Structure 1
């Protein structure tokens, strides 16, 4: 049987694909706008959307600007 290429990935599958923990993915969804879709209680992911987000620097930590550190 041929696997469908454009299928929804589970939390476990996206964590394995990216090599990170569940906690990291939850943080990225909440704080960094990682492309994810809630289906009931489950999070689902499109591999192409997530890969594009990572390549665009979506997973990078935001850099604190000098304006925020004014004394």
Structure 2
């Protein structure tokens, strides 16, 4: 086998591997689960692995970040993450 043919084969193989890796990356990006920007109380409790009662208590006693919309609390994930970081001991 000549060097030119071998070089061509290696280039084609490298190109095929690069395409396969890119396709895998795209598939992984599609399957990544992201948390919603805004969560209801149940989602927030699940997100933090605490009870809904704990969320209520934090709102009343620990200035937990929340907004009331239409009589129900909503929680911005970014604010919740910041609050957790600031209030972790």
TM-score scaled by length of structure 2: 0.57
Deviation at 1:5, TM superposition (A): 6.5
Q: Identify the residue that residue 53 of structure 1 maps to in structure 2.
A: 83
Give the secondary structure class of the aligned counterpart of 1:51. helix
Structure 2, unmatched stretches of 5+, are 1-29
- Between the aligned partners of 1:22 and 1:5, the Cα distance in structure 2 is 18
2:65 counterpart (28, 32, 35): 35
Q: Which residue of 1 aligns with 2:3?
A: none
Q: Residues 31 and 13 (structure 1 numbering): CA distance in 2 closer, same or farther, change over 3 Å?
A: same
Larger Rg: 2
Aligned residues of 2:42 and 2:52 also touching (Cα < 8 A): yes
Structure showing the higher helix proportion among its residues = 2
Give 2:39's aligned residue: 9
Instruction: Could you tell me which runs of 5 or more consecutive residues in structure 1 were left unpaired when the two chains were aligned.
Output: 61-71
Task: Tell me how many residue pairs correspond in the alignment.
Answer: 58
| TM-score (normalizing by structure 1) | 0.70
Which among 43, 50, 53 is matched to residue 20 of structure 1?
50
Structure with more contact order per residue of length (Cα contacts < 8 Å, sep ≥ 6): 1
User: Which string of whole-angstrom CA distances, capped at 9 and with x for unpartnered residues, describes residues 24-54 of structure 1?
Assistant: 0000011000000001221100011011001
